[in-house]
Chains A and B, each alone.
Chain A
């Protein structure tokens, strides 16, 4: 695709409900990242995929958070039993290959609000 696409762009959910956030990376990009952006907190690393496997899940805040990637392409970030502190912008990025110099391209993000 032309760029990284995330959906939905905005999501308002009630506390305790589950949500799924979707990321469509740039076609052919093998690496995929999820980050969380909160006001004044910068970009918090959540999880990294290389192909369909996730060698680094260290940033997931709790066991309510999970992510998967299928076919080396689309990724879904799932938050179960959402809490108000989960409110943030969730960003997805993809890059080509594993090289350290590979540029990461970002989507517009999903703004999640838990009420």
Chain B
């Protein structure tokens, strides 16, 4: 089945630790890739996206992600997390369908808790 997989459901880190959240997708062909973040009590918002060019994408708040086509992966990284990064992170893939429309498919999400 076509899917987006996030390997870690819960991650607990101390401040200043490094973060890497895994994301793999199973679609062939051209896709666009996104990471969304949902802070406690807030709506989902875009963290970063990749659609072409440099496979290393930089987003807001010091986050970055690397698209590795051969591995169908788009892992999210941050060198040093802060308490304010506590949130749920969703990987998403947008692919085109033959009917001329696109569908944005999400992974199950990863809950990150950062302790001071």
Contacts and interface: CB of A to CB of B under 8 A. Distances in A.
Interface residues of A, number: 26
A91 interface: yes
Contacts of B31: 100
A33 interface: yes
A19 B108 CA distance: 26
A100 B106 contact: no
Contact of B43 (A98, A99, A103, A106): A106
A71 interface: no
Interface residues of B, number: 31
Nearest to A6: B43
Interface in A1-59: 4, 31, 33, 35, 40-43, 45, 48, 50, 55-56
Contact of A101 (B45, B49, B90, B100): B49
B108 A40 contact: yes
A115 interface: no
Contacts of A103: 34, 46, 49
A56 B103 contact: yes
Contact of B94 (A56, A100, A106): A100
Contact of A55 (B44, B100, B104): B100
Given A107-B43, A109-B43, A101 B32 contact: yes
Contact of B102 (A43, A91, A100): A100
B30 interface: yes
Contact of A91 (B34, B44, B109): B44
Given A40-B9, A43-B90, A106-B44, A100 B96 contact: yes
A55 B102 CA distance: 10
A56 B43 CA distance: 24
Contact of A42 (B46, B94, B108): B108
Interface of A: 4, 31, 33, 35, 40-43, 45, 48, 50, 55-56, 91, 93, 98-104, 106-109
Instruction: Please name the 9 residue pairs, one residue from A and one from B, whose CB atoms are nearest each other, closest first.
Output: A42-B108, A43-B106, A101-B51, A106-B44, A100-B32, A55-B101, A100-B94, A106-B43, A108-B43
